[in-house]
Structure 1
Amino acid sequence: MDLDDILALAASHQPTVFERASASRNTRWVQQQYARAKADGRDLVGDVDPRDPLDGDTGEIPRITRTAQLAKQGTVRWDAATNELAWSDEMSLIFGRAPGVVRQSLETLIGLVHPDDERRIREAATSAWRERTATELTCRVVQPGGITRWVHCYIEVLTGTAGEPTGLIGTAQDVTELELARQERERRARRREIVERASGSFGPGTGLRDRAGFSDELDRARRTGSGVLLIVATEPQGGTEPQRLSEVVATFVMQVARRVDICGVLGPGEFGVLMPDIGLRPATSIAQTMVEKLRAQLFVAGPQALRIDAWGGLVRFEAHDESSSIDLLIDAESAWRHAKESGAVLKALPRPAPADERQEAWRTRVRAAVAGNGFTLYTQPILDLRLNQITRQEILLRTLNDAGNPVPPSPLLDIAEHVDETLPIDLWVMDNAFELIAQGPPTPHYQINVSGRSLGEPGLLGRVQDLLHKHDVDPRRITFEITETARIDNRSGALYFARAIRELGCQLALDDFGAAYSSFMYLKSFPIDLVKIDGAFITDIVNSPTDQALVRSIVEACQAHGVLTAGEYVRDAATIELLRGFGVDFAQGYEVGPPMPIAGAPASSGTSIEFDLRIDSPA
């Protein structure tokens, strides 16, 4: 092929977009160099001095640029004298643009940077120029199609022959993969820290797992191996339990238990010890020693020093046993109650009870508690944060222990849920609550708890209508507070009850909002007026940015749906102010006021509730 053939081929070839851009860029560069040479009065032939661009005598701009090219980095250069800005072909590729197709200027550069990082880049460049020092930062650029890339920039000052600053040059490298890997490491570490902090589900003040956290540990142990569950029940001698006694006893239980054991607070004066990978006989010996030490120990709680009575109940479980954690808790509690009634220190069960016997025994106990006045009612005030005034009272159920003292009902309610006996308890609460409301002041608003399992029961709505009419109670003064929404069995029946109750004039609230995966679903599907944010997000909210973020999102979602919010477990004034700032409507907890007995509420009849499981003790 001779010269004529080459020229003919060139004339017939249609250049691509990149070829045209490259030719245009090279043309402009030649024109710029020609104009500068003419202005400087140089001889365009005689003054040409070809040199190695990495030679030591080469100027800093060519050296930095060439080094960046070898490292596959881009460069951006700003000339202080002319206020001109230019970048290399490698930089264009980092921006996701073909070299030469974008006009190089400060305005164009800012337009290629992510809007959230523009200020940081300006500040870094200004600082480098003002301080006459190098600086570096990682920022984002936006490529065509909205694609975001992370770029690490090293900005340094250019100097003239006399050492005077003449401009800035930035070296940039695409570090998207490295940055995403760093963010993922930080996310994993942060998530691990949060989960580890919360996974213990520690009860307030005791340092032991609460009932829910202990049940999770028991389920985990049951799935992976065998072991023994011990429940130790304590009761202060004299019948009066001072404040903080449970915390003192809990600390003692942890000290006596083995290091491999897992401890928990299951209820008032009731402690669980999970002993993994141990036989019943050695576990019984450990339990015997623990109970005897508890009985012999003099406990100091506040100004009082006293001794306690204690009993133990054990049940051994095997890997993959069909009994659930609730079943095992029921069996171990039955065992310590049997020990107490028979005058023994403890009772050990070699295996879980048969399901039918367990359910029948605990159905009998729940029904006996309802029939024998084994409950009483308390109230706890609710603060309206908008008015800074108590405007509501929640009616709370308390069970009466063997000494006739009121204790939180959660252990018995868990059992009632398990054996499907919640409706009798809810009806008892409604009957007595409406009677007390009718006798009280006419202005306060009351919140009455009802289990999610009872909502679909056909007789519940009729009972509410009868009670409103019988006691002549204004339905606008009543809010029914649904507990355990995740356990609603009959959703269509529950929805019918919810709509009907609001047609009567009553309001509807959801308790423990945010604890269940389906909580937010109820904002749309249920005609609710109020949600009570789960206390787990409130207790340490002042010190927990994650809890603050969760509560803010809950409040925002509720406000968007026209639903009021209340914070539970409020323990100090700082929490109240924080919740008020988040837009929470109500606050409830010991800082507002503790639960107090209601004058005229039903009390224990002194009836002893007996039950037993027909299980032989080990030989």
Structure 2
Amino acid sequence: MSDLQRRLQLALDAARMAIWDSRIVNGRVADGTVSWSAQGAALLGLKAEPLTHAFNDFLAFVHPEDRERVTAVLQDGVDRRTGYELEYRVQAPDQSVRWLAAKARVFCDAAGAPERTLGIIWDVTERMLKELRAAERKDLAEVTLGSIGDGVITTDADGKTRYLNRVAEQLTGWTTALARGLDIGATLALVDEASGEPIEHVALKCLRQRQAIGVSSHSMLVTRDGRRIAVEDSAAPIWSRDGAILGAVVVFRDVSHERKLSQQLSWQATHDALTGLINRREFENQVAAALHASKQDGHVHALLYMDLDQFKIINDTCGHGAGDVLLQLLAKMLQGPMRDSDILARLGGDELGVLLPHCPPDHAHLIAEQIRQSIKDFRFTWDERSFELGVSIGLVEVNEQSKSMTELLIAADQACYLAKEQGRNRIHVYRESDLMLARRQGEMQWVARLNEAFEQQHFRLYAMPIVHLHTHAESHDEVLIRILNAKGDLILPGAFIPAAERYDLMVSIDRWVIRAVCHHIKSVRDSLTPLEAFEESHRRSPALYSVNLSGVSLGDAKLQEYITEQFVEHEVAPEQICFEITETAVIANLPKAQVFMGRMKTLGCRFSLDDFGSGFSSFGYLKALPVDYLKIDGIFVRDIANNAINRAMVKAINEVGHVMGLKTVAEYVEDEATLEVVRELGVDYAQGYAVGRLRPLTPGLD
């Protein structure tokens, strides 16, 4: 071996390369032979010694999936006389697989015909395995990114787009092919949800600050075709092993539904669902802000408290549906006489409030008079009946001497009360002396009226049907109390109950109702013929009467004894009586209420929890109370046909009630649309003008 050959061999050994030499027959590689150096033979997994074999024998060592390609590449290199480069797999006798890289030149005879190839070959198994693993990881990453539900976009260190996953392509309207190389601000165009103005891009902010940027909840994505989608977005840097930033990854998702629901909840927290006006809580916030401005800057504002004079009559004669329509109409009409800055609110029931910012008393009185006149001129028609309305308005000045928001509202309420006492349909401007005067006059008058009602038998009972939505076998009524005064006016409990509670008359009223109901049951039974009485005694479900109990009565230690006496005197089965109590009354008297309810349940009485769902603690206390019925608060039922949140609330309360083995009752079911939804949700009973109207129960006691 010459020195040149030895040096060449040493170089090849150092580079872990081997010589391979092939002979070509008639221009065809496949018909020739392949010669290997000792190192080359070892690469095939054979003994390390020179080897010459037919090309087809060589192919036997090539991985089956690579044989056709190897033959084609070698033949092409020979045909073009340029040589070849390729990488392929060989399979050793022990079935191990290795990757080889080959590089060769073509040598021709004097006539130019190819006669041999000569080149080098080396093992690239380690490199190929690394590349394959890297490619596999890349494929896995892309499959993973393509499978997740969030949009993912990667950028380079300059904020140029590199990659979009499937969700990102769908949301933005850009494909990876179209977006690659574009500024991320163009691919993922983000603007502020409130202003619509472009915002600092989360990816660019991430690259600038060299840190992860948390979720932003006020971004809006402008898609390639101009649509706007509410998104939450965040970004994190992509680091190299040596600490350099390679780019950023942005993760974002469509939160249109969640943000819309959040906006609805936020709106409902501050607005009245029926009229669209702001509610009492938000109105109080506005009044508090106005008072703060008065104390800070000396500004003068005005506050109006309004009570519709004929609203209860419309509700009683035409149903709550008519009252709801009236309030909606008035809400739109009343904003006519007002300035753009004036704030109209529904404070509850038929009570409205108006805040007149930067409005001196004289001008406030003028606006109040315009409101009063517009309501007086308004005619409300329902079922071919026409109603004339009036409004009593209390006016209070808000200035730097005003004490607090609560006292302002109390003052406005008392001024409104005095307007009603002075003949209704008028305006009363509050004075310091009005508060004590109104309280003293109102309280004393109602104490006298209630005592007169007891003495003159002015109390009247009315029945409101509670109708089972799936069977018709039951007779169930809620008993409601009214006062029929000497003038023939029917007075609702909302007018006299506050005074009764304040002057400890509620226990007497509750006892009157219990006695009157028992008397009614006995009267109905006594009026039956013998045959009817026999049939009635054998009915599976005797008539059931729901009687409202106040929180004060729940704490009356002698109430159980009184009720038992009435049952005995009037021969009333306790199973015919269901006591209705509000959750607030129960919570305020929980220990005594539990004892009372337990004892009355032992007798056979039933219990209904009224206005359920209005308090945050409802579900927690429910487990501690032996109730039979849940009356779902009407605030959730009224607009259930149009309000998804109310529907969800009723559905949840109904399902919890059923899980606990309780019957559910939907209040304020005033129309067919509401009734259909309530029935569809599986509520057991309905109460309201869609299923039954208020009717007199008894004229009183003998």
Q: Same fold (TM over 0.5)?
A: yes
Which structure has the highest strand share of the two? 2
Identify the residue that residue 67 of structure 1 maps to in structure 2: none
Pick from 592, 599, 604: which aligns with 2:691? 592
Quick one: which amino acid aligns to residue 288 of structure 1?
E
Alignment of 1:346 onto 2:446: no
Quick check: 1:218–1:325 contact (8 Å CA) kept in 2? Answer: no
Quick check: 2:467–2:687 contact (8 Å CA) kept in 1? Answer: yes
Quick check: 2:583–2:612 contact (8 Å CA) kept in 1? Answer: no
Quick check: 2:398–2:408 contact (8 Å CA) kept in 1? Answer: no
Q: By how many angstroms is 1:583 displaced?
A: 2.8
Pick from 289, 303, 321: which aligns with 1:228? 303
Q: By how many angstroms is 1:457 displaced?
A: 3.4
Q: Which structure's relative contact order is higher, taking Cα pairs within 8 Å and 6+ residues apart?
A: 1
Quick check: 1:239–1:403 contact (8 Å CA) kept in 2? Answer: no
Q: By how many angstroms is 1:521 displaced?
A: 1.4
Alignment of 1:391 onto 2:475: yes
Q: By how many angstroms is 1:331 displaced?
A: 0.9
Q: By how many angstroms is 1:334 displaced?
A: 2.5
Residues 219-259 of structure 1 show CA distances to partners (whole Å, capped at 9, x for unaligned) of 223422243233244359x9999745855666654444555
Identify the residue that residue 286 of structure 1 maps to in structure 2: 367
Alignment of 1:525 onto 2:663: no
Q: Secondary structure at the match of 1:543?
A: coil
Q: Which runs of structure 2 are paired with 1:228-307 in the superposition (5 Å)?
A: 228-235=303-310, 243=318, 244=322, 246-247=326-327, 252-259=333-340, 260-264=342-346, 267=349, 272-295=353-376, 303-304=384-385, 307=388
- Alignment length, in residue pairs? 468
Q: Distance in 2 between matches of 1:369 and 1:450?
A: 21
The 1:358/1:423 distance shift into structure 2, 3 A limit, reads: farther
Identity of aligned residues (%): 25
Pick from 349, 368, 371: which aligns with 2:451? 371
Quick check: 2:304–2:395 contact (8 Å CA) kept in 1? Answer: yes
Residues 364-399 of structure 1 show CA distances to partners (whole Å, capped at 9, x for unaligned) of 344334323265322111111231455311112335
Residues 485-538 of structure 1 show CA distances to partners (whole Å, capped at 9, x for unaligned) of 277423212222222221221111111211210111122111111101122222
Identify the residue that residue 611 of structure 1 maps to in structure 2: none
Identify the residue that residue 440 of structure 1 maps to in structure 2: 524
Q: Distance in 2 between matches of 1:274 and 1:219?
A: 10
Q: Distance in 2 between matches of 1:292 and 1:406?
A: 26
Quick check: 1:313–1:336 contact (8 Å CA) kept in 2? Answer: yes
Quick check: 1:312–1:335 contact (8 Å CA) kept in 2? Answer: no
Pick from 205, 216, 220: which aligns with 2:281? 216
Q: By how many angstroms is 1:548 displaced?
A: 3.0
Q: Which runs of structure 2 are paired with 1:574-593 in the superposition (5 Å)?
A: 574-593=673-692
Quick check: 1:379–1:596 contact (8 Å CA) kept in 2? Answer: yes
Quick check: 1:339–1:346 contact (8 Å CA) kept in 2? Answer: no
Aligned-residue CA RMSD in angstroms?
4.7
The 1:536/1:180 distance shift into structure 2, 3 A limit, reads: farther
Quick check: 2:519–2:701 contact (8 Å CA) kept in 1? Answer: no
Alignment of 1:513 onto 2:588: no
Quick check: 1:513–1:531 contact (8 Å CA) kept in 2? Answer: yes
Q: Which runs of structure 2 are paired with 1:470-489 in the superposition (5 Å)?
A: 470-485=569-584, 488-489=587-588
Quick check: 1:453–1:487 contact (8 Å CA) kept in 2? Answer: no
Alignment of 1:89 onto 2:160: no
Quick check: 2:663–2:684 contact (8 Å CA) kept in 1? Answer: yes
Quick one: which amino acid aligns to residue 367 of structure 1?
V
Quick one: which amino acid aligns to residue 475 of structure 2?
T
Alignment of 1:312 onto 2:393: yes
Q: Secondary structure at the match of 1:231?
A: strand
Quick check: 1:541–1:547 contact (8 Å CA) kept in 2? Answer: yes
Identify the residue that residue 420 of structure 2 maps to in structure 1: 337
Quick check: 2:414–2:438 contact (8 Å CA) kept in 1? Answer: yes
Quick check: 2:304–2:368 contact (8 Å CA) kept in 1? Answer: no
So what's the TM-score if we normalise by structure 2?
A: 0.56
Which ranges of structure 2 fall in alignment gaps of 5 or more residues? 1-13, 15-60, 75-82, 88-131, 150-164, 178-231, 236-249, 292-301, 526-535, 537-541
Identify the residue that residue 111 of structure 2 maps to in structure 1: none
Q: Secondary structure at the match of 2:665?
A: strand
Identify the residue that residue 38 of structure 1 maps to in structure 2: 67
The 1:345/1:499 distance shift into structure 2, 3 A limit, reads: same
Q: Which runs of structure 2 are paired with 1:35-74 in the superposition (5 Å)?
A: 35-38=64-67, 40-42=69-71, 47-49=84-86
Pick from 184, 190, 196: which aligns with 2:267? 196
Residues 250-293 of structure 1 show CA distances to partners (whole Å, capped at 9, x for unaligned) of 6654444555131437556x654444554444323333344345
The 1:398/1:586 distance shift into structure 2, 3 A limit, reads: same
So what's the TM-score if we normalise by structure 1?
A: 0.62
Q: By how many angstroms is 1:542 displaced?
A: 3.2
Q: Which runs of structure 2 are paired with 1:83-232 in the superposition (5 Å)?
A: 88-92=136-140, 136-137=166-167, 182-184=253-255, 186-197=257-268, 199-203=270-274, 207=275, 214-226=279-291, 227-232=302-307
The 1:327/1:556 distance shift into structure 2, 3 A limit, reads: same
The 1:258/1:431 distance shift into structure 2, 3 A limit, reads: farther
Q: Distance in 1 between matches of 2:695 and 2:339?
A: 38
Deviates more, 1:551-560 or 1:453-462: 453-462
Deviates more, 1:551-560 or 1:480-489: 480-489
Residues 537-560 of structure 1 show CA distances to partners (whole Å, capped at 9, x for unaligned) of 222333333333322222221222
Q: Distance in 2 between matches of 1:287 and 1:490?
A: 43
Identify the residue that residue 10 of structure 1 maps to in structure 2: none
Q: Secondary structure at the match of 1:440?
A: helix
The 1:291/1:541 distance shift into structure 2, 3 A limit, reads: closer
Q: Distance in 2 between matches of 1:273 and 1:425?
A: 36
Q: Distance in 2 between matches of 1:47 and 1:452?
A: 99
Identify the residue that residue 155 of structure 2 maps to in structure 1: none
Alignment of 1:570 onto 2:669: yes
